Structure 1
Amino acid sequence: MMKKLIKIIFFLSISVFVKAQTFDLLPEDTNPYEGGSVQFYKDLNDVLVKNNFKPCSNRPSEMFLADIEIVNGDGKIVNKKFNDDCVTKLFLNAFQEVNKLKKWNDSSGKQRKFSIIFYPIDYFSIFKEGYTTEGLKKEAHFPGGIEEFKKQLGNNLKNQKIKNAVGLKVMIRFKVNQEGIINNIHVESGELDSSEKEKIVRAIEKIDKKWNPETFREQPLISTYQLSLSL
């Protein structure tokens, strides 16, 4: 159940990026907060502690997604709807206190609309210096890097005798499960028939070394990987 909840949080984070620019990913020169996202989260934690705000239940699934707009040097939460829960109230109250620090900047070139994800479990006594929500997620990666993966795949392909494949580019998509095992392999190419594509799939399956799976809060997740390859 816990893994399922964490996956939900992760996919919510992805949808945030699609909908609006995520605060943590703003380039330094466009970030509207003095000191950037790291300083914002530090200030947010400081006001939570100094104002004696009470923590919520500290479940990993608790989060609040705030749509922010900077207007006349002031941060405004512009969500259309608010839940009547501890997490929402905690962020709203803390954000008001952060605004009093007068560190928002809406001058030319600064991002004025973005989203902030608030996980209350990361604050108060367990808050860590340098914290950002972006650091909670780590992408799936192959030991030795993607070039090592391509090298091993290339060695396996030598024995497959794929017809008319020299110089051909193909797109490979696959999933990496929580154990780092590749599955659901798909090869996309208009130049190869299904039997030739299957040879590439077999070459991938013969790679013995496992991937390091994608993680969120150090919990492994299923992820999709896409790779362009020249044969």
Structure 2
Amino acid sequence: MMRILYVLVFLNSLLFAQTIPAFPADQHSYLGGEVNFYKDFQKILLEKQLKPCTNKKEHVKAGIVVKTDDTAELYSGENAPSTDSKCAEALTAEVLKSMPGWVAAKIDGKNTVALTHYFIYPDAFFDNFETGYTPDNYFKMPVFPGGIQAFRKEVDNRADGSDFYVKGDGKVTLTVIFIVNEEGVMENAMLENSSGLEQYDEMILYSVKSIKKKWMPATIHGVATKYRFRMPISYTNQR
């Protein structure tokens, strides 16, 4: 699954996993994968003679329920009506019900209702449609002022490793994950993997959380979007 959708699944499955399981990351929810999904989406949109949205920047991060009978629909529990995306949501709902390639999730060997996500930017499907299109082609990573090494330096400046010792030439590594939201604010920082040194983990996590500088947010088609950042951080005696 492309990096954008992985992020969306991560963010939304935290909220909705208790009701509908997330679509397994190692399975395709649509026959032929993402490229074929967007190809069919555009084909059906034109066949139905649907009209472009007045607002060319309108988009929807569509939560989609794929059913056990290989059909799908917008997830009503997640796609609350919004005046900012009303056209995109209506267009998406109309196209989804005619798409032929849905593939039910298999969980524990059984077809299972599951939740997947696709980013729909309607303007991309009319005069501007490109062969092989996916939103990933128009994705830009979030940027910290001065770059990622400047961010690492900010973490390093806030952390004092002098009280920690690693035997020999070894090193310890932890992984921090956090969200950069649409405003460029970092949030929900947490540990994904521990270094094995609890106090060191706590120090690094506190250092990350204390950084208040804003990022330039990730964008898709120029539209700001949330992004899940994953950052390994290592410590050695020579650090």
TM-score range relative to shorter protein: 0.5 to 0.7
Partner of 2:189: none
The percentage of counterpart residues that share the same residue type is 19
Q: What does residue 123 of structure 1 align with?
A: 125
Are residues 1:15 and 2:11 paired? yes
Q: Which amino acid aligns with 1:113?
A: A
Aligned 8 A contact 2:53 2:88 in 1: yes
Compared with structure 1, are the counterparts of its residues 129 and 174 closer, same or farther at alpha carbon in structure 2 (3 Å cutoff)? same
Question: Shift of the alpha carbon at 1:33?
Answer: 2.3
State the alpha-carbon separation in 2 of the partners of residues 228 and 113 from structure 1: 34
User: How much does 1:31 deviate?
Assistant: 1.3
**How far apart are the structure 2 equivalents of 1:15 and 1:119?**
19
- SS of equivalent to 1:68: strand
What is the count of residue pairs matched by the alignment?
195
Task: Tell me, in whole angstroms, the C-alpha distance in 1 between the residues paired with 2:58 and 2:49.
Answer: 23
Within the candidate set 41, 45, 48, 1:51 is matched to 48
Looking at structure 1, the residues matched to 74 and 52 of structure 2 have their Cα atoms a distance apart, in angstroms, of: 24
Amino acid at match of 1:89: A
Unpaired runs of 5+ residues, structure 1, are: 1-10, 183-187, 206-211
The structural deviation recorded for 1:43 is: 0.4
Taking the aligned partners of 2:177 and 2:61, their CA distance within structure 1 comes to 33
TM-score (norm 2): 0.53
Q: Contact conserved, 2:8 with 2:117, CA < 8 A, in 1? A: no
- Partner AA of 2:22 in structure 1: Q
Once the two structures are superposed, the pairs formed by residues 158-197 of structure 1 within 5 Å of their partners are 163-167=162-166, 169=172
Q: Distance in 1 between matches of 2:72 and 2:59?
A: 22
* Cα gap change, 1:173 to 1:52, in 2 (>3 Å): closer
C-alpha displacement at 1:53, in angstroms? 0.9
Secondary structure in 2 matching 1:65 = strand
Give 3-state SS (helix, strand or coil) of 1:97's partner.
coil
Q: In the alignment, which residue of structure 2 is the partner of 1:132?
A: 134
The answer on whether the counterparts of 2:179 and 2:228 sit within 8 Å (CA) in structure 1 is yes
Say if 1:177 and 1:123 are closer, same or farther in 2 by CA, change over 3 A: closer
Matches for 1:31-50 after TM superposition, within 5 Å: 31-50=28-47
Residue 215 of structure 1 aligns with an amino acid whose one-letter code is: A
Q: CA-to-partner distance for each residue in 1:147-173, whole Å, 9 max, x for gaps? A: x889x96xx99xx99634442758678
**Match of 2:91, as an amino acid?**
L
The CA deviation string for residues 39-70 of structure 1, in whole angstroms up to 9 with x for no partner, is: 01110111112321111123434325242222
Equivalent AA in structure 1 for residue 218 of structure 2: T
Describe the shift of the 1:227–1:219 C-alpha distance in structure 2 as closer, same or farther (beyond 3 A): farther
Provide the rounded CA distance (Å) in 1 between the counterparts of 2:225 and 2:93.
Answer: 31
Structure number with bigger Rg? 1
Q: Judging changes above 3 Å, is the alpha-carbon distance between structure 1 residues 64 and 56 closer, same or farther for their aligned structure 2 residues?
A: farther
The letter for the 2-side match of 1:131 is Y
- Residue 216 of structure 1 aligns with which residue? 219
Residue 71 of structure 2 is aligned with which of 75, 87, 90?
75
Match of 2:57 among 46, 57, 60: 60
The separation in 2 between residues aligned to 1:116 and 1:35, in whole angstroms, is 16
Q: Structure 2: which 5+ runs fail to align?
A: 1-6, 187-193
Indicate yes or no: 2:106 matched with 1:105. no
Determine if contact 1:55/1:120 at 8 Å carries over to the other structure. Answer: yes
Find the counterpart in structure 2 of residue 6 from structure 1: none
Q: Kindly tell me: are residues 26 and 133 of structure 1, through their superposed partners in 2, closer, same or farther at Cα, counting changes over 3 Å? A: farther
| C-alpha contact 1:32 1:111 (8 A) present in aligned 2 | no
Q: State the alpha-carbon separation in 2 of the partners of residues 64 and 174 from structure 1.
A: 20
